[in-house]
Amino acid sequence: MPSILNSGMNIRQYCIFAIVLLSITAAFGKQFSFRRQVIKKVEIEGNRYFPENRLKSRLLTKPNRWNNFFSKRRLSRANLNIDEKQLERFYGRNGFLFTRVEAISDYFEGDSTRVIVTFKVDEGKRVILNSIKIAGGLPEVNSRLDRITSKLIAGKPINADAVLGTGFSIRDCYADYGYPLASVRPDFIFRNDSSLADINFEIAESSFVRNGDIAIVQESYTGTSEKVIRRELLVATGQPYNRSLNVESQNRLYSTGLAKFVSFKRSGDLIYIHDDTAYTDFRLLVTGKKPNFVNLRAGIAQDPDFNSVLQTSLSWGNRNLWGTGRKLILEVSNALQLAKEGEEERALKIRDLFSDLHFKPVKNSIGLNYVEPWFLNYRMPLSLAVTYQPGNKNRIIDKYYDSFSGQASLIRELNKYTNVRFSASAEFVNIRDVSSADQAFFRAEGDNSIRRRLQLYGQRDTRDNLFVPQKGSYSYLSFEYVGHLLGGDFSFARGEFYWSRYKIMFGENILASRFRIGLLDELGEGGLSSATDRFTLGGAKTVRGFAENELGPKWTTADSVSTGLIGRPKGGKLLLLGNLEIRRPLFWRFGGSAFIDAGNTFYGIKDFQLPRIAATTGLGLQFFTPVGPIRFEYAFLLQKKLDLGEGSYHFTILYAF
């Protein structure tokens, strides 16, 4: 067919025709809108077992609200299809294996620009689990499946996702015992009216497989010795194939800090030795990091002595000395206190933001750290660190000091969640403008003292995310032995237990809780501890609404100390702390929280009194960044007469716990 240009029309006629066509399109543009319709209303029909709001919370399709002025919520066929499957899956997790959902959209009150979306639900019958059976496979492997299948409980509604996950776990179990090609098929055997069912897992184990050669390929080669890579592997040539050990080997390589990408996969086809036995070769691809690195950090943090401080640090390091995996890091840091003149120890209030604040240098540090990742041929990193702190301020005695310290520590990983650390350290201090005869007197308080310390520390961390945990827990138990037979200015033993837990509840809400208890006992007739060694509470990380370390006993005129210490925190030998917090996302990158903090420190066990436990409450706002939430919180003391004006705000990074 001839085109318009070839039909005898000249250029002028063609332009006129184009203008007329564009005018007609513009005139009828309002009548024939090509934009997707705005969602005015969302409804659920046919649901009997679950309330409508619970189902709607799982939908991507939501009605447009007045506050959606930047981006209106419009109809999306892709979202409707996803929502249908999401609702069916939700019902399937609760025993409704036959549920079907259909999404229907229609004009809202005859307006073609707005729609109402209705999800029609046919719930069907709820199916209860009667029993679980294992068919096929190997008896020696099947005997280990009880822990996996125990998640499916007879007499409870069948969870379709759990059934599918159990099948995958059974397959992975066989892969851990040399059968990576095993297949598992769950079958439902329904009884009576389909409200009761047995689950039969059909297993075909296939061939037994052993490990062949493991070829190591390094990309972005940075001189790493092949021995350094192989020592992290938990698998070897000739061993039975083990999926879990293959995955853990990759994780161990990542944990060294030498690799930014690791791929450990089978290469080539299976090579059969016998009819039912084969071996497979592997290709381990490692993309290494550059050995040398430079880091620059800056941020506002809470300091136990100086409240809000601006911290900066510059570090240089080599993470792979001579290709051996050994590390050497040099770091220079300092901290500037943010405070009002003459009121350094007070927590800042909102009104302080509109008055004069000043930065005051309070801490400087130069540190050198060496890490031997395999000490005595065991995967037990040895860390040797020396630190020089010139011109740091001790706020308790109001003097500056220079210190030099050394520390050695060994870390042993028991499993991927638990590790134990043993460390020994010693400090040497010179207080400026103080005679040698008076040095010991001024070292009696603060962090400018000579300590010789042994510490045993164990921790367990099952949190799903370090910055924004939603489930799991974190706990540690520590014991310190300072001085006494080791010498030094102080002599005491100190123990502490810490536990925090995180749980998702009521939709997107996260319940975070924490408990902490500590006890210190001075050793021998000359036993002594300082306020720095004893426990303190108060501030953004412990009991909000108080300044840093302001909770607990204070120095008084009854104590034989200098007048400069009167009224300052004395620290306690007994610590009790409890926190309860609800966190939830708000919009975009913002989140909110409500919390209750309670705790105090007591100079001795005999001084403990329940009415002296301080309790605060407040609200917080968080802005989530790649390095963790930046939080702003306001808290006030819970008492008979509430005075919101006497509360304190806290501005820092990361959650309190």
Q: Which CATH number fits domain 451-657: 3.40.50.920, 2.60.120.620, 3.40.190.10, 2.40.160.50?
A: 2.40.160.50
Cα-to-chain-centroid distance, residue 358:
34
Side-chain half-sphere exposure of 320, counting CA atoms within 13 A: 19
Confidence of residue 185 (pLDDT cuts 50, 70, 90): very high
DSSP state at residue 354: G
Give the E-state strand segments of 52-173 in sequence order: 100-108, 111-122, 128-136
- Cα–Cα distance between 367 and 329 in angstroms, integer? 8
What's the average model confidence in pLDDT over 500-521? 94
7 pLDDT tier (thresholds 50, 70, 90) = very low
The H-assigned helical ranges of 310-349 are: none
Contact 405, 387 (CB under 8 A): yes
Average pLDDT for residues 490-498, to the nearest whole number? 96
Instruction: Name the pLDDT band for 643 (thresholds 50, 70, 90).
Output: low
* pLDDT mean across residues, the chain: 87
**Are 627 and 602 in contact, with CB atoms under 8 Å apart?**
no
- Give the whole-angstrom CA distance, residue 580 versus residue 619: 12
In CATH terms, are 128-204 and 208-288 the same topology? yes
Q: What is the CATH number of domain 38-122?
A: 3.10.20.310
Strand 38-45 relative to strand 111-122, pairing:
parallel
CATH number of 208-288: 3.10.20.310
> What pLDDT, on a 0 to 100 scale, did the predictor assign at position 489?
84
pLDDT digits over 554-567, tens only? 888 777 766 667 77
Average pLDDT score over residue span 489-504: 95
Give the per-residue pLDDT at 101: 96
Q: Which of 286, 284, 283 is nearest to 221 (CA)?
A: 286
Residue 161 has pLDDT above 50, yes or no: yes
Question: What pLDDT, on the 0 to 100 scale, is given for residue 4?
Answer: 40
The residue count of the chain comes to: 657
All structural domains of the chain with their residue ranges: 38-122, 128-204, 208-288, 295-414+422-438, 451-657
Superfamily of domain 128-204: membrane protein fhac (3.10.20.310)
Asked whether 558 and 491 are in contact (CB, 8 A), the reply is no
